[in-house]
Amino acid sequence: MEKITRYDSRDALSWTRTENSATVLRRWHLDLFTVRGWCTAGAGGLLVFVAYLLGRHEMMALGLALVALALANWGLALRLRGRTIIHRELLSAVPSVGEVSKFRLSCAERSVIQEQLPEDFGPGPRFQAPGSIEYELLFRTRGIHLVGPAQQIVVDPLGLIQGMVRTGASLQIPVRSQLHRLDRFAPLGERTLTGDAKFSRSTTTDYYDVATRDYQQGDSVRQVHWKASARHGKLMVRQENHVATAQALLVLDTSFEHWNHSGSDLRISLPQAHAEALTSSRRFENALSLASSIGLRYATSGYQLAFRDLTGASLAQRDPQSVSELGALNSFEDFHAATSDLALANGTVEANGSEILGNTLRKELLVFREEPVIMILGELTAPQAAWLATLSRTVRNVEVFLLVSHPERYGQIQLELARTSWKVHILPGDMAIDEMWG
C-alpha cells in the first residue's frame, strides 16, 4: 500500500512562493497564454495592422483567424473555472495543533488536479482524474485554515494555452489549540480531585462495599468513610468520589497588553478563513494550550469546568447546562472548539492597574470557595500580585500559572503570592510546554 503523503508547515519554511507572471496578467488570467500563444496572437494582430495599411483583405482574414484562434482557446480554458466537480472531505476528527489530519480529494471527470494548501505548506499534491488522492496535513497554528479551491491544469492541443485555473470550492478547517499529556509532568501530577462532588456516577453502590483509600490533604470531610476509618484506625475516604463530577473554574487572561508586552513577545498571525487574521503571541498560544490541556484532564476526571476571562465573560460557546459526566466533557469540548477563533482583547484591565479581575468574576469566585480554581495569567505587576493575594482569604484551592518572558524578574511577585496557600508556577512562556518542566 502506497504511503500517504504528509505535509507539515514546519517542514515547508524553506519553500518560497515564486510567481512566473506579472500581477496584471494574473488578474486578467492572461498568464494562461504560452509563448506560442502570445506569438500567435501577436502575429495575428501584426497581420491585421499590415493588411489595414496595404488594403489586403486576405491578409486581414488570416490575421483575424490567428487572433480568434488564440482567444477561442483562452476562452475555453476560462470556461473550465468552476465547471469541474471536485469533492474534498476531512476523514479525521476536527484537528488540533500538532495532530495529523487526513483529507481526500476526488474528481470524476477527466482532468489533472492540483490541491491548493494553505500558504505555509507550499505546493499541494497533484493527481490524474478520474480518481482520488489522500494526503495528510499537520497544522502548527490554530485558526480557521482554508484548503482549496483546487487548481485544474489546462492545456490545449495546439500548445497556445497552458496553466492552472481554480475549480471547486474551498474547505474551512477550524484548528483548535494544542493538547498535551500533562500526566507526564510531576508538578501537575500531584493534584488529585479535591472538589466536593455534585454528581455521583455510582448511585447504586452499597455504603459498606464502596472502595476506600487513605485520606489525603485537601479531601473533603464529606468524603470520609467513618466505618472504614474505625476498622483501619486511620482516616479513610470513599474512592467513589474519584469518579464523581465536581465543579471547577478556569480563568484565562486574554488581555492583549499582557501577552504582547514587549519586543520579546513573538507576534503570530492566525488565519480566519476569509476574515482578517488574528494577532497573537507565542506566550499566549502556550497559555491557551496549557488551559486546554488542564481542562481536558479535569473534564476526563469528571470535573464540570467553567471557562472565564478576567472580566468574568465565558470563553466557551455556551455555559454547561447540567452537572453530569457527559456535561463535564461537553463543557470542555465547547471551550476547545472556541479556541479556533479566540482573540486577544484590548482594555480588559482595570484603570487603576491593580484589580485585574472584574466584578463579575469576583462574585463568581465566591461560589468556588472550596472548589478548584485554575488561573493562567500573563504579565503581572507587584501591586496586582498583592491585590490578587488578598483573594486567598475566601478562595482557598487555587493554582496559578504565570507565563512570563523573564521569570527571573518575578522575585517580588513570587514573595507576594507566597503569603497565600495557593500553588504558584512562574514559567518561561516562550518555551514549549514540553520543556517548561523539563
Which grid cell is 216?
489525603
Query: Given this model, what pLDDT does residue 202 score?
Result: 35
Asked if 400 contacts 408 with a C-beta cutoff of 8 angstroms, the reply is no
| CA neighbor of 266 nearest in space, from 47, 99, 432, 90 | 432
Q: Residue 150 forms beta bridges with which residues?
A: 167
Query: Given this model, what pLDDT does residue 353 score?
Result: 61
Asked if 268 contacts 280 with a C-beta cutoff of 8 angstroms, the reply is yes
At which residue does the C-alpha cell 508556577 appear?
425
- Which stretch of DSSP H or E encloses residue 267? strand 267-272
- Which stretch of DSSP H or E encloses residue 42? helix 35-54
d(CA 284, CA 260): 9
Which grid cell is 365?
469566585
Write the Ramachandran bin of 254: left for phi over 0, alpha for psi from -120 to 50, otherwise beta.
Answer: alpha
- The pLDDT tens digits for 290-334 are 999 998 888 888 788 889 999 999 988 665 544 445 567 788 899
d(CA 395, CA 422): 9
Query: Given this model, what pLDDT does residue 222 score?
Result: 72
Query: Given this model, what pLDDT does residue 197 score?
Result: 38
The average confidence (pLDDT) of the chain is 80
Asked if 424 contacts 417 with a C-beta cutoff of 8 angstroms, the reply is yes
Model-level pTM?
0.75
For 16-24, the CB contacts below 8 A with 24+ separation are 17/119
- The pLDDT tens digits for 210-223 are 567 787 766 777 77
